[in-house]
Amino acid sequence: MPSAKKSPLFFLSVILFTSFILFSYLVAKEVFTKIDFDTTVRLQNHISGRFDLPFSILTLFGSMEITGLIWLAILGYSALKKHFLTFFALSLFWAGLALEVFGKIFLFHPAPPFYFYRGEGLVFPSGYIHTNYSYPSGHIYRTAFILSFLITSLYLEKTTVRRAVMILSFSAFLAAMFVSRIYLGEHWLSDTFGGLLLGSALGIIPALFKPSKNR
């Protein structure tokens, strides 16, 4: 039954959030400086420059404007369906944003230097807002939150080929977004991984409050 799947997912969320805290500590200690630099160099050396524009377009979908609208749509849908626990749990989105802003202001972790930047200059107004540091990636956090919610919701329903394809598609989209932020020189590997941990941890929780469907 779907309800039997919820407890392991809750513990997974706890593990992911705990991992985010521990990982953030290691980032603050500059443990990943070399692997961050090497990963960016390798991605940019092995991926054709023809991906500059596609990745720049892709990264727009992780902006605050787009993810915020999707979050509002999910919130409205939860209200219409009277999934009130999910409705209130979706406020975790903003708690994660607060943690993101805190990290970018107080956790010493400079962004990649400008010579790594490969973006095509396609940005929404939120893209012009800059903070002191770059950890964690807001694009990855927001995308991971939304997609973790959707993937978890699908996983808790009856398995069908269509739902399996959707889960794989969402996962592939998140992976592409993850790579794009590093390839474009917007973030280090550690920034994106921290955003992934935080977004996944918090995005799972609201889906666990959705009423199980009787099949």
What digits encode the pLDDT tens for the residues 46-67? 999 999 999 999 999 999 999 9
- Which positions ≥6 away from 50 have C-beta within 8 Å? none
- H or E stretch including 100? helix 92-106
Phi, psi (degrees; rounded to nearest 5) at 134? -120, 5
- When the pLDDT of each residue in the chain is averaged and rounded to a whole number, the result is 93
Is the per-residue pLDDT at 127 higher than 80?
Answer: no
Domain spans of the chain?
2-208
Res 195: pLDDT: 98
Share of the chain above pLDDT 90, in %: 85
Separation of alpha carbons 143 and 122, rounded Å = 18
What digits encode the pLDDT tens for the residues 155-182? 998 778 999 999 999 999 999 999 999 9
Tally the C-alpha atoms within 13 A of residue 13's C-alpha that lie toward its C-beta. 21
Question: pTM of the entire structure?
Answer: 0.94
Separation of alpha carbons 152 and 6, rounded Å = 9
- Taking only Cα atoms into account, the Rg of the chain, rounded to an integer number of angstroms, comes to 18
- DSSP codes joined into one string, 39-96: HHHHHHHHS-GGGHHHHHHHHHTTSHHHHHHHHHHHHHHHHHTT-HHHHHHTTHHHHH
Res 38: pLDDT: 98
Q: Name the band, by pLDDT with cuts 50, 70 and 90, for residue 2.
A: low
Res 3: pLDDT: 66
Residue 189 near residue 32 (C-beta atoms within 8 A): yes
Separation of alpha carbons 34 and 96, rounded Å = 27
Q: Alpha-carbon torsion 154, 54, 121, 184, what sign?
A: positive
Query: What integer is the mean pLDDT of 98-110?
Result: 95
Query: What integer is the mean pLDDT of 184-206?
Result: 97
Is the per-residue pLDDT at 1 higher than 60?
Answer: no
Res 64: pLDDT: 93
Res 215: pLDDT: 43
Classify residue 160 as left (phi > 0), alpha (psi -120 to 50) or beta.
beta
Is the per-residue pLDDT at 111 higher than 80?
Answer: yes
